[in-house]
Chain A
Amino acid sequence: MSEVDKETILEALRSVTDPDLGRDIVSLGFVKEVKLCGGAVGLTIELTTPACPAKDQMKNEAEQAVLALPGIDQVNIEMTAQVRTSSTRASGFLGDVKNIVPVASGKGGVGKSTVAANLAVALARSGAQVGLMDADVYGPSIPTLLGVSGEPQTAPNQQIIPMTRYDLKIMSMGFFLPEEKAVIWRGPMLDKMIAQFLGGVAWGELDYLIIDLPPGTGDIQLSLCQKVELTGAVVVSTPQDVALNVAQKAISMFRQLNTPVLGIVENMSYYLCSHCGSRDEIFGNGGAREVSRKMQLPFLGEIPLSTSIRTHSDQGTPVVLAEPDSEQAKAFIQIAENLAAQISIQNMSGEAQQDIKVSF
Chain B
Amino acid sequence: MSVPAEITRSGEHDVRILWKDGHESIYPARNLRLKCPCAGCVDEWTGKKILRGDDISEDVAPESLELVGRYGLRIFWTGGHSDGIYTFQLLRDLCPCRECDSSPDNA
Contact = CB atoms under 8 A, between A and B. Distances in A.
A356 to B, nearest CB: 5
Contacts of B7: 356-360
Contacts of B62: 360
Nearest to B3: A354
A272 interface: no
A226 interface: yes
A228 B70 CA distance: 8
B65 A360 contact: yes
B8 interface: yes
Contact of A226 (B5, B8, B85): B85
B65 A358 contact: yes
Contact of A225 (B65, B66, B69): B69
> How many B residues touch the partner, as a band?
10 to 19
B6 interface: yes
Which of A228, A256, A257, A360 counts the most chain B CB atoms within 10 A?
A: A360
A360 B64 contact: yes
A228 B66 CA distance: 12
Contacts of A359: 6-8
A360 B8 contact: yes
B17 to A, nearest CB: 9
Which of A226, A256, A359 counts the most chain B CB atoms within 10 A?
A: A226
Contacts of A355: 5
B4 interface: yes
Interface residues of A, number: 17
B9 A229 contact: no
A259 interface: yes
B23 to A, nearest CB: 15
A305 interface: no
B88 interface: yes
A257 B70 CA distance: 7
Contacts of A358: 6-8, 65-67
Contacts of A230: 69-70
Nearest to A355: B5
Given A226-B85, A356-B4, A360-B65, A258 B9 contact: no
Contacts of B66: 358
A229 B69 contact: yes
A355 B71 CA distance: 12
B9 A360 contact: yes
A358 B69 CA distance: 14
Nearest to B9: A360
A226 B69 contact: yes
A192 interface: no
A165 interface: no
Contacts of A226: 68-69, 85
A230 B68 CA distance: 11
11 contacts: A225-B69, A229-B70, A257-B69, A258-B1, A258-B88, A354-B3, A356-B3, A356-B4, A358-B7, A358-B66, A359-B8
Identify the 7 closest CB pairs spanning chains A and B, nearest first. A258-B71, A258-B70, A357-B6, A225-B69, A358-B7, A257-B71, A226-B69
